[in-house]
Each structure stands twice: as structure tokens, then as C-alpha cells.
Amino acid sequence: MFKLKINVKNFNVSFSDNQILKNINMKIPKNTVTALIGPSGCGKSTFLRSINRMNDFSSNFKRNGSIYVDGEDIYGENVDVVDLRKRIGMVFQKANPFPMSIFENVAYGLKIHGLKDKKELFDTVKRSLKQAALWGEIKDKLDSSALSLSGGQQQRLCIARTIAISPEVILMDEPCSALDPISTLKIEDLICELKRDYTIVLVTHNMQQAKRSSDLTSFFLDGEVIESGLTKDIFSNPKMEKTEDYILGRFG
């Protein structure tokens, strides 16, 4: 019933001599939300950042194995990383709107990728802000600085900025960890909305969030995937003891 979007095969990552990810295998279907859970330092963020090759910036980053997106190895020789990151957007733990106006933030990706037409720019910005459930709150102050927004609004702005360039996949690295409960709920609603158009991979420390907003869950521990499956199965009937311990809050 699902079309495969991301296929991870025997993927290993180390920084210097420190192996962070050990032999990761994972299948992520299209138009689903996959939650990555696990205690701090278990490698889930490193894994997430491997999917849009953000780890490339660390000079001591080493990996082997492959990540296929639509059947193409993103670590292959002919891959244009800049183009890859256009297709695989990312929302960070800490909202990081650029120090420019709200409008310019959402238009940023479009502009650097060469869109000049004013009307099309405006329409896309408007559509993206609407999709990110932010339009109503800020439509009268598009020219205000993005940094004048609240934390939750800033994070939704970052989501709008990401979807403005129509990526296929959106990676979210604990997008709600710095937000209040109401903003968190808004973003979770948004995630459920977004999966109609995008494939979403979500790193979260919040078990309730994983349960509420994801279809699939993978549990990471010490750089390994301990258990993967449908979220409802993982939370109601985990196969591994470690998974159960973590979900029930016995450690982590």
C-alpha cells in the first residue's frame, strides 16, 4: 500500500574513531511520518542529518553503506548535494529564521534557486505560510523581522520556509523541544497535515508526540536500531524488552 521513499542499507557512521551508527537498515514509505526515538546520544540525530548530508561539514565524518532516496544512492558520486538538500528539507531543534523579514524568510529558498517573478513568489510564500498554519497570525506584518515572532511562530515559519521550495522529504530534528505545549500541539497538527504531500522523518524525545503524530517508529539505542515497526505496535506491544523499558520511561 505504501511506496518506498527512503531505503537505508547497512549504513554506518563514525566521527574520528567513534562509531556513532552501526549497520542501520530502515525503510521509510512515502507520505508517512516516521518517528525516531531513543535516549540522547543514541545516534538518531546523526542518522537524520545523514539523510540530507548535513554531516558532510564535519571534517572527521566517515560513513559506509548507502541511503537510497527514490532508488538513488544519495552518497553516490554524481549526486549534487545542493540539489539533494532542495529535495530533502530540514527543520531544526532550535527555530532558526534568518534575520530578515517574514516574507523574505519564506521567499529565501525560492530566490536562491532562481525564482524572480514577484507574483509567483508572493503566491508561493502565501501558500506555504497557510500550509504552515501561520498565515492568519502574520498576514498583516509580512515585512516585520522574523525574529520578532514568538518561538512557536518562528518554528512554523521555518517549516513554511522549508515547504516553500517543495521538498519531497522533510526531516525534523526535535522541532518542538523548545516550545510550549500549545505551540507543540499546533506543530503536531501541522505534521499530520503535511504528510499528505511530504514524507516526514521526525526525531523526538517526546513519547506522546511519537505516539500521536507518527505512523512508524524506530527505536535507536547506542547507534543501533533496536526495533522498527508501526507506531501503534511499538507502543502497545513492543517486541524487545529494551524498547518497552524506554517507552515506559525506565531509562533514557
Which stretches of the chain bind other proteins, using CB under 8 A?
52, 54, 57, 59, 82-86, 89-90, 92, 94, 96-100, 108-109, 112-113, 141, 143-149, 158, 161-162, 165
Chain position carrying cell 506555504: 128
Give dist(CA 166, CA 218) in Å, integer.
Answer: 26
Q: Are strands 224-230 and 216-221 parallel, antiparallel or unpaired?
A: antiparallel
Minimal distance, residue 109 CB to other proteins, in Å? 4
Instruction: Name which of 63 and 211 has its Cβ closer to other proteins.
Output: 63
Give dist(CA 68, CA 240) in Å, integer.
Answer: 27
Question: 3-class SS at 46?
Answer: helix
Minimal distance, residue 214 CB to other proteins, in Å? 21
Minimal distance, residue 192 CB to other proteins, in Å? 22
Is the CB of residue 5 less than 8 Å from the CB of residue 29?
Answer: yes
Give dist(CA 110, CA 166) in Å, integer.
Answer: 10
- Which residues have C-beta within 8 Å of that of residue 125, sequence separation ≥ 6? 103, 106, 107, 110, 142, 160, 164
Give dist(CA 14, CA 23) in Å, integer.
Answer: 11
Instruction: Name which of 100 and 230 has its Cβ closer to other proteins.
Output: 100
Instruction: Name which of 160 and 191 has its Cβ closer to other proteins.
Output: 160
CA distances from 7 to 71, 129, 143, 181 (A): 8, 31, 41, 33
Instruction: Name which of 9 and 87 has its Cβ closer to other proteins.
Output: 87
Minimal distance, residue 178 CB to other proteins, in Å? 12
Give dist(CA 244, CA 11) in Å, integer.
Answer: 25
Minimal distance, residue 180 CB to other proteins, in Å? 20
Instruction: Name which of 141 and 232 has its Cβ closer to other proteins.
Output: 141
Instruction: Name which of 139 and 250 has its Cβ closer to other proteins.
Output: 139
Minimal distance, residue 28 CB to other proteins, in Å? 18
For 242, other C-beta atoms within 10 Å of its C-beta total: 17
Minimal distance, residue 90 CB to other proteins, in Å? 4
Is the CB of residue 228 less than 8 Å from the CB of residue 219?
Answer: yes
Instruction: Name which of 86 and 242 has its Cβ closer to other proteins.
Output: 86
Is the CB of residue 163 less than 8 Å from the CB of residue 106?
Answer: no
